[in-house]
């Protein structure tokens, strides 16, 4: 492995450095432990791919390191992974200043899972390789420019004879170079988003496991306590957990491509629920207004993807109002009036800004992939094309109106849907009677908290439950043929959930299976599971019982 692929480690306390070396070398990374900040700066200058640094190790003199960072060439943005001590409140000004000087820093709070650290290192190395490729591309472009200069010098002696030909050739070359630069910038931005997506996916499973345990235990407290104050406090905690789950879904929507899950969505409730996220994203310099339709509009949509589309439009609107302005998000019901929409009624979400507007000549291009009016490096050109794709896949469409210098309105049209009627929650006693003592359920999940929550919930509903912490032990438990249902987690060490499902189908093809997941390779899951047999984390007791009853009923 070359010097530019090395992983440099700076951890001056305890055995942190040795532990990280063992972990990263196991995954094929070449590591070097540095004895101080100066040593780190020296090794970075020699050649490295990423530096993993503990926060307390940066207290020494950092002048040599910051001098090297300031001298980086234009193509270089050396990546750091900072292992920070978990803290409450804002980071001290001095500590924040260190991060600002370091530049390209991913901050991971300790304690940290080994897989998360390895994933972060892999992502950082991938980004560093792209920087090396960018350097090579820059060198190639410089060489091409030098050759072009020489060619022009030679052609000057014949300029009077071939003026028209040279002008045409130069224009074509300029256009090609500009197009190549735009494509390279869009590709670099897309690769950054891919790296962020992989890092997000790596921690999403653990986060959703925690939320599942929190949801489940809060719900059990509410159902079992007779003290009104305790139930009220648990309700407050559950509301906060709901917001955390919603935020997780929104983050995952940024980082993965997924099949649309079309369901009736209350557009008023969806837009109102995004108010906090929009306020944090757009910032205080822009006024956000909600104009929600009086007749509640219901439409067929994937809630997570629709939120992503609205957020993309809001971010574009913010960028068009650099000096501030007003952003209005409105909803309503409209009848299709021809064009690219089928006849019928549609739910509508419109995002309106008071920004710079779009020139008429560019209106027809704004939904093309990789087309952007933003400066190089400021956008991928994928935001509006993604909005267009989400609307089209949902059976609707997108319309745009813009007046240059006055603002833009973009409307998402979605097929109207019948409202979902509220369902009354069955009493705990009724749920317990739904279980049959002869129905035995096997639970396989490597997370102790999630496994215990599922076991207690099902036992409270009258099922006989056994549990295993890994796929191999779970398969041994199935050999006696006494189980009526299997619930298995996707992400587990050793055998993952999909591998367990395949083996169970071979041994006991008639056994019903439910696969639970917080974040998974959906292509692998779809290959072995029906969508209604996938239980998304975080889930509640009623979600679990409904899935179990449905699976047992079909069997």
pLDDT in tens, 211-244: 888 878 888 888 888 888 888 888 888 788 777 7
**In terms of pLDDT, which residue wins out, 61 or 172?**
172
> How far apart, in whole angstroms, are the C-alpha atoms of residue 435 and residue 238?
26
Q: Are 439 and 355 members of one domain?
A: no
The structure tokens listed for 277 are 């996220």
The single-letter DSSP state of residue 420 is P
End of a domain among 79, 107, 129?
A: 129
> Within a domain: residue 167?
no
> Within a domain: residue 178?
no
Residues 6+ apart with CB under 8 A from 314: 278, 281, 282, 327, 329, 351
The structure tokens listed for 223 are 């159902």
**In terms of pLDDT, which residue wins out, 250 or 460?**
460
> Within a domain: residue 190?
no
Structural domain boundaries enclosing 284:
257-415
The structure tokens listed for 467 are 């549990």
CB 282 within 8 A of CB 319: no
Confidence of residue 251 (pLDDT cuts 50, 70, 90): low
Quickly count: other Cβ atoms within 10 Å of residue 19's Cβ.
14
Q: Are 407 and 434 members of one domain?
A: no
Question: Looking at residue 512, which CATH number applies to its domain?
Answer: 3.40.50.2300
Average pLDDT over residues 152-174: 80
> Within a domain: residue 399?
yes
Q: Are 386 and 449 members of one domain?
A: no
Locate tokens 């750091």: which residue?
80
CB 379 within 8 A of CB 282: no
Query: How many domains in the chain?
Result: 3
Q: Are 386 and 446 members of one domain?
A: no
End of a domain among 129, 149, 175?
A: 129
Q: Are 471 and 379 members of one domain?
A: no
Locate tokens 């292509």: which residue?
523
> Within a domain: residue 407?
yes
Q: Are 462 and 545 members of one domain?
A: yes
Q: What are phi and psi of 115, to 5 degrees?
A: -65, -35
Locate tokens 């560093």: which residue?
128
> Within a domain: residue 307?
yes
* pLDDT tens-digit map of 380-428: 445 577 787 778 888 888 888 888 888 999 999 899 998 877 654 444 3
Residues 6+ apart with CB under 8 A from 159: 166
State residue 352's pLDDT score. Answer: 94
> Within a domain: residue 98?
yes
Q: Are 100 and 10 members of one domain?
A: yes
Confidence of residue 192 (pLDDT cuts 50, 70, 90): low
Quickly count: other Cβ atoms within 10 Å of residue 198's Cβ.
16
> Within a domain: residue 316?
yes
End of a domain among 129, 146, 176?
A: 129
Confidence of residue 200 (pLDDT cuts 50, 70, 90): low
Question: Looking at residue 316, which CATH number applies to its domain?
Answer: 3.30.565.10
Secondary element (H or E) of residue 414? strand 407-415
Q: Are 397 and 473 members of one domain?
A: no
Cα angle 440, 451, 261; round to 5: 90
* pLDDT tens-digit map of 19-60: 999 999 998 899 999 988 888 899 999 999 999 999 888 876
Q: Are 390 and 297 members of one domain?
A: yes
Q: Are 369 and 471 members of one domain?
A: no
CB 391 within 8 A of CB 342: no
Q: Are 440 and 368 members of one domain?
A: no
Secondary element (H or E) of residue 223? helix 163-224
* pLDDT tens-digit map of 172-189: 888 888 888 877 776 765
> How far apart, in whole angstroms, are the C-alpha atoms of residue 371 and residue 368?
6
The structure tokens listed for 417 are 């849907």
Q: Are 438 and 359 members of one domain?
A: no
How long is the chain? 555
State residue 371's pLDDT score. Answer: 54
Buried b / exposed e along 518-527 (16+ C-beta atoms within 10 A): bbbebeebee
- The three-state secondary structure class of 24 is helix
CA-atom Rg of the chain in angstroms: 28
């Amino acid at each position: 492995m070359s010097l530019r692929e090395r992983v440099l480690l700076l951890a001056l306390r305890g055995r942190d450095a040795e532990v990280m070396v063992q972990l990263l070398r196991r995954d094929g990374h070449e590591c070097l432990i540095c004895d101080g900040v100066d040593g780190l700066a020296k090794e970075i200058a020699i050649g490295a791919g990423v530096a993993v640094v503990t926060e307390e190790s940066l207290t020494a003199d950092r002048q040599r390191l910051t001098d090297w960072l300031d001298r980086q060439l234009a193509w270089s943005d050396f990546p750091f992974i900072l292992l920070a001590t978990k803290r409450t409140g804002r980071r001290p000004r001095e500590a924040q200043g260190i991060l600002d000087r370091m530049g390209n820093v991913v901050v991971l709070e300790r304690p940290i899972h080994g897989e998360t650290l390895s994933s972060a290192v892999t992502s950082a190395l991938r980004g560093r390789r792209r920087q090396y490729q960018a350097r090579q591309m820059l060198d190639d472009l410089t060489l091409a420019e030098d050759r072009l200069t020489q060619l022009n010098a030679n052609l000057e002696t014949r300029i009077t004879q071939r003026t028209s030909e040279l002008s045409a050739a130069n224009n074509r070359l300029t256009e090609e170079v500009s197009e190549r630069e735009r494509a390279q910038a869009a590709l670099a931005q897309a690769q950054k988003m891919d790296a962020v997506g992989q890092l997000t996916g790596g921690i999403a499973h653990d986060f959703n496991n925690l939320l599942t345990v929190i949801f489940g235990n809060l719900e059990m407290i509410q159902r079992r306590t007779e003290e009104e104050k305790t139930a009220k406090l648990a309700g407050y905690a559950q509301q906060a957990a709901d917001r955390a789950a919603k935020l997780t879904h929104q983050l995952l929507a940024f980082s993965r491509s997924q099949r649309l899950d079309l369901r009736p969505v209350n557009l008023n409730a969806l837009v109102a629920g995004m108010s906090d996220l929009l306020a944090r994203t757009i910032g205080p310099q822009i006024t956000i207004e909600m104009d929600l339709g009086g007749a509640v509009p219901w439409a067929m949509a994937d809630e997570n993807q629709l939120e992503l589309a609205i957020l993309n439009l809001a971010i574009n609107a913010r960028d068009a109002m650099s000096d501030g302005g007003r952003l209005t998000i409105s909803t309503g019901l409209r009848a299709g009036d021809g064009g690219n929409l089928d006849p019928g009624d549609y739910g509508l979400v419109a995002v309106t800004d008071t920004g710079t507007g779009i020139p008429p000549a560019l209106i027809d291009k704004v939904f093309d992939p990789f087309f952007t009016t933003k400066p190089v490096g400021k956008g991928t050109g994928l935001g509006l094309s993604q909005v267009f794709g989400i609307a089209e896949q949902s059976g609707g469409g997108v319309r745009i109106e813009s007046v240059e210098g006055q603002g833009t309105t973009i409307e998402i049209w979605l097929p109207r849907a019948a409202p979902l009627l509220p369902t009354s929650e069955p009493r705990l006693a009724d749920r317990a009677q739904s279980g049959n003592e002869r129905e035995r359920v096997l639970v396989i999940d490597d997370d102790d908290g999630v496994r215990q929550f599922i076991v207690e919930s099902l036992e409270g509903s009258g099922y006989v439950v056994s549990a295993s912490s890994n796929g191999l032990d779970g398969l041994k438990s199935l050999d006696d043929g006494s189980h009526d249902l299997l619930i298995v987690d996707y992400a587990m060490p050793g055998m993952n959930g999909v591998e367990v499902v395949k083996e169970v189908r071979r041994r006991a093809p008639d056994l019903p299976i439910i696969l639970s997941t917080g974040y998974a390779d959906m292509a692998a899951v779809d290959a072995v599971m029906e969508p209604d047999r996938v239980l998304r984390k975080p889930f509640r007791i009623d979600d679990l019982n409904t899935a179990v009853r449905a699976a047992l009923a079909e069997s």
